[in-house]
Structure 1
């Protein structure tokens, strides 16, 4: 009986600790590297994991590179094989901290927070600072953020043949509902 009590206490304490983190497994990341007057270079990944620890304000996100979908299949193939080398670098990972974050200050009105962190992509890690709009509703915390990075910062080379058709500046949009 004593063993059952100890096991139950461990399970309950583990469950309580797990509740400290909020998670989203269906976050969206859209990136665009389009250039005016040329074909749209845009893709979306709808299976992004985002984890937030409201007590420490630490946030992390993981996206599988092969999860990005383009309108044109050939563009997706070139993205994975030639640009991102997704077999060699399968993940995009962000780890950061939200400045002055207090979960109790959130309500239905979006509030801006600065996030400082590091984005690891294509074998390189780059510091990123962005503003995220966050709000709380009955279904969880919504996080929306837009920021830009340069492909060249991650040693992603754009071949001369398409240099005028693909921007070095990559605009990124993140949308997640953390529960």
Structure 2
């Protein structure tokens, strides 16, 4: 009886795991540039993402200090003055890909609606955007982009640099998800 229970537990665990795709190397990029000034942009290449292919729920976590800028001083200001990364080290997204159906994915990019909540600096904002998914060999490729505002997350931009930073910050997602085994 013990062996049957153990076998059943292993089957359920492997079945549940087969329903999930993930990445630990997802790319999240942001651009807050204004023309005529130096680019304010960074990339984070270590976003962790988990997609449940059974119901379309998705979660992403990134460490704010993992955003890297071309200009080191800009990165320092971003972490210390704007994002307060020591106090708020993570940004989290939890949501759902609406009408997600794993069997409908192919090598052709397909559009879905994405709804969820983005939490940055302890503040949460509802997000509704479009996400594009396509199936590649044993992978799901996910891309999206949407805008947020610094004010959404109580990020204060000092007046001395306010005209050098965009009011709408573009977030661009590029995730290559592999089956979790």
TM-score category (smaller protein): over 0.9
Per the alignment, residue 26 of structure 1 pairs with 25
1-structure distance, mates of 2:131, 2:142? 6
Do residues 138 (structure 1) and 140 (structure 2) align?
no
* Alpha-carbon contact 1:118-1:126 (below 8 Å) kept: yes
* Alpha-carbon contact 1:96-1:115 (below 8 Å) kept: yes
What residue ranges of structure 1 are gaps of 5+ in the alignment?
A: none
TM-score by length of 1: 0.95
1-structure distance, mates of 2:59, 2:140? 15
* Alpha-carbon contact 1:83-1:158 (below 8 Å) kept: yes
2-structure distance, mates of 1:175, 1:7? 39
1-structure distance, mates of 2:4, 2:37? 66
Per the alignment, residue 44 of structure 2 pairs with 45
* Alpha-carbon contact 1:95-1:117 (below 8 Å) kept: yes
* Alpha-carbon contact 1:48-1:63 (below 8 Å) kept: yes
Per the alignment, residue 159 of structure 1 pairs with 158
SS of aligned partner of 2:34 = coil
1-structure distance, mates of 2:15, 2:99? 24
What residue ranges of structure 2 are gaps of 5+ in the alignment?
A: none
Per the alignment, residue 110 of structure 1 pairs with 109
2-structure distance, mates of 1:4, 1:104? 34
Going from structure 1 to structure 2, the CA distance change for 1:168 and 1:138 (only over 3 Å counts) comes to same
2-structure distance, mates of 1:101, 1:19? 16
How many equivalent residue pairs? 178
TM-aligned CA deviation for residue 8 of structure 1: 4.4
RMSD: 1.2
TM-aligned CA deviation for residue 12 of structure 1: 3.6
